[in-house]
Structure 1
Amino acid sequence: MEFANYRKQPLFWNGMVMAVLTVAILPLLFLDTRTLLGTSVWTKPLKFTLSVGLYSFTTVWVIFTFLKDWKHQQKIQMVLTVTSAIEIFFITLQAARGEASHFNITTTWNQIVYSVMGTSISIFWVFHLWIGYQIFKKESIFQSVKESLVWGLGIAGFAMIIAFFMTSPRPDQMESIKQGIFQASGTHNFGTGDPGKGIIFFGWSTKIGDMRVPHFFGMHVMQIFVFLAAFLMGKRNSIQNLLLVRTTGIVLLLMNVVMVIQTLNGESVFYINPVYTSIYGISIVIVFLCLFKLVIQPKIFSHEATV
């Protein structure tokens, strides 16, 4: 796709805005000494602009390459752009105020922000799945390419929905709310004890369950599948490729589900548990072998239409 065509796509400009915001936020990590929950107030906006930017660039390629003739594609892009922009706006605004953007119900304003963000991302999720459904029913896409896209979009959709585990208020929070004490509603931590300092930049706990880990993993597995789909467009459309893609999708989805189970059990994904760690290790080996098998094939261009 030529750059002139990219410039007509809302999600492309969403990605460009995220890139500009990322560059603008970076100096603030060093210039602003304020912290929130042990990290710079600007860490969360930076993580989200990077994530949304990556999502925007990969998704606009998927839509324009495979759904160019879909009459709703421009509208879908606008919805994804607006809803993600709302999320980024409030996360950045709250960071500038030195306030938490998620789970924060300490004031009426913070409650409104949290509610609007929840509504916005729910709408985003529905339209994301709509794209996946359109790809799924598109018959002209090579089956191995289609499955790669569907697995990527599907696992990302699963990763988005598991975020709602984090928004549910805990029993102690519910008790405080009943007493008229409004502090927080929900948390990304599961389990008891000190979550610790967390991994550099990401802040993920290595001591107790942290739902941000499976959420991040599933969201960005999507990029792996999109790149794989682009690669497979220059390969023979074979049953072997289809089975390799399908195996990769099944294994990564199951890996994501296991991460959620371990987290809900109050245990960090990074904790060395013989059962969970073995599952992750075996899964990574299987995925690596499948991807290696796909990559080493000779590149054969087909003259069949892909859209």
Structure 2
Amino acid sequence: MEFANYRKQPLFWNGIFMAGLTIAILPLLFLDTRTLLGTQIWIKPLKFTLSVGLYSFTTAWVMFIFLNDWKYSYRTQMILTITSFIEIVFITLQAARGEASHFNISTLWNQIVFSVMGTSISIFWLFHLWVGYQIFRKKAIPHSVKESLVWGLGIAGFAMIIAFFMTSPRPEQLESMKQGIFQTSGSHNFGTGDPGKEIFFFGWSTKLGDMRVPHFFGMHVMQIFVFLSAYLMKKVDSVQNQITTRFTGILFLLITVFMVIQTLNGESVFHLNPLYTSLYGLFVILILFCFFKLIAQPEKISKQVIV
């Protein structure tokens, strides 16, 4: 897609904004020595700008290539852009204030921020699913390409909704609220005890369950499937490719589901549990086999145009 076409996509400019904000935040990692809950205060905004920027660029490509004739394409991109923009603005603003953006209900302002962020991301999720549905019902897309896109968008949608496990207040938090003490509501951690060492930059626990891991993994599996769909456009569309892509999607979904189960059981995905570690290893081997099968397929003799 030429740059002239990119300029017409709101999500493309959202990605550009996120890239610019990422560059602006980077020096603050070294200039601002403040920490929050033991983590450098600007790491969280940086993680979110990178994540939203990657989502924006890949979704802009998907919608231009496959949904350019959809009458709601521009408006849907605008809603995805505005809702994600609201999320990033509040996360960055709270970081500048030295306050947590998520789960923070310690003041009226923090409660408003947390509520608005939850509302905006819920709207974002609904329109993300709508994009996936439009891809699913589009008949002109080659079967294997559509299979890849639907699985990528679907798993990302599942990964977004599991974030609500984190926002549910814990029993001890509910007790505090009954006593008129408002500090936090929800947490990304599950389980009790020693959290162990954190994963560098991401801050994920190596012992306790951390729902951010399957949330992040599932959301960015989408990019793998978008790249795969671009690759499959060059291949002969066949039933074998479609079935192999579907099997790949099932495997990635199973990994995400088992990550959620392990996390809810209070155990980190990075903890070497024989059962879960064996399952993840098996799934990865099967995924690599599927990728090999797809790569080995012949390319198309003539290019097809997706309308």
Q: Is the 8 A contact 1:218 1:256 kept in 2?
A: yes
Q: What is the match of residue 254 of structure 1?
A: 254
The corresponding residue for 1:147 is 147
Contact 2:263/2:269 (8 A) holds in 1:
yes
Any unmatched runs of 5+ in structure 2?
A: none
For the residues of structure 2 that align with 1:36 and 1:292, how far apart are their CA atoms? 44
Matching of residue 241 in structure 1 with residue 257 in structure 2: no
Q: Is the 8 Å Cα contact of residues 45 and 91 (structure 1) preserved in structure 2? A: yes
Letter in 2 for 1:275: L
Q: Distance in 2 between matches of 1:84 and 1:303?
A: 35
Task: Measure the CA separation in 2 of the matches of 1:302 and 1:209.
Answer: 50
Q: Which residue is equivalent to 2:289?
A: 289
Q: Paired residue for 1:213?
A: 213
- Contact map agreement 2:234 2:303 (CA 8 A) in 1: no
1:299 to partner: Cα distance:
2.3
Offset of residue 292 of structure 1 = 1.5
By how many angstroms is 1:303 displaced?
Answer: 4.3
Distance 2:82 2:270 in 1: 35
- Deviations 1:72-125 (Å, cap 9, x if unpaired)? 000000000000000000000000000000000000000000000000000000
1:140/1:305 contact within 8 Å kept? no
Check conservation: 1:42, 1:95, Cα contact below 8 A. Answer: yes
**Equivalent residue, structure 1, for 2:130:** 130
Q: Any residues of structure 2 matched to 1:260-279 within 5 Å, and which?
A: 260-279=260-279
- 2:113 corresponds in structure 1 to 113
Q: CA contact under 8 A between 1:38 and 1:197: conserved in structure 2?
A: no
Residue 60 of structure 1 corresponds to which residue in structure 2?
Answer: 60
Instruction: Name the SS for the 2:195 alignment partner.
Output: coil
Distance 1:42 1:242, change over 3 A: same
Q: Which residue of 1 aligns with 2:50?
A: 50
Name the CA distance, whole Å, in 2 between partners of 1:97 and 1:302.
Answer: 57
Number of the residue aligned with 2:171: 171
* Residue pair 2:45, 2:91 contacting (<8 A) in 1 also: yes
Residue 223 (1) aligns with residue 258 (2): no
1:186 corresponds to which letter in structure 2?
Answer: G
CA distance in 2, matches of 1:88, 1:183: 22
Per the alignment, in what secondary structure is the counterpart of residue 93 of structure 2?
Answer: helix
- 8 A Cα contact 2:166 2:211, kept in partner: yes
Taking only aligned residues, the RMSD between alpha carbons, in angstroms, comes to: 0.8
**2:117 aligns to what SS in structure 1?**
helix
What is the TM-score when the length of structure 1 is the normalising length?
0.99
Of 4-13 and 290-299, more deviation after overlay is shown by: 290-299
Instruction: Report the 3-state secondary structure (helix = DSSP H, G, I; strand = E; otherwise coil) of the residue aligned with 2:103.
Output: coil
Percent identical among aligned pairs is: 75
Displacement after TM superposition at 1:239 (Å): 1.0
CA contact (8 A) 1:236 1:302 kept: no
For residues 283 and 250 of structure 2, what CA distance do their matches in structure 1 show? 10
Deviation at 1:47, TM superposition (A): 0.1
Counterparts of 2:303 and 2:207 in 1: how far apart (Å)?
Answer: 53
Aligned amino acid, residue 225 of structure 1: F
Letter in 1 for 2:188: H
The 3 A distance-change label for structure 1 pair 200 and 303 is closer
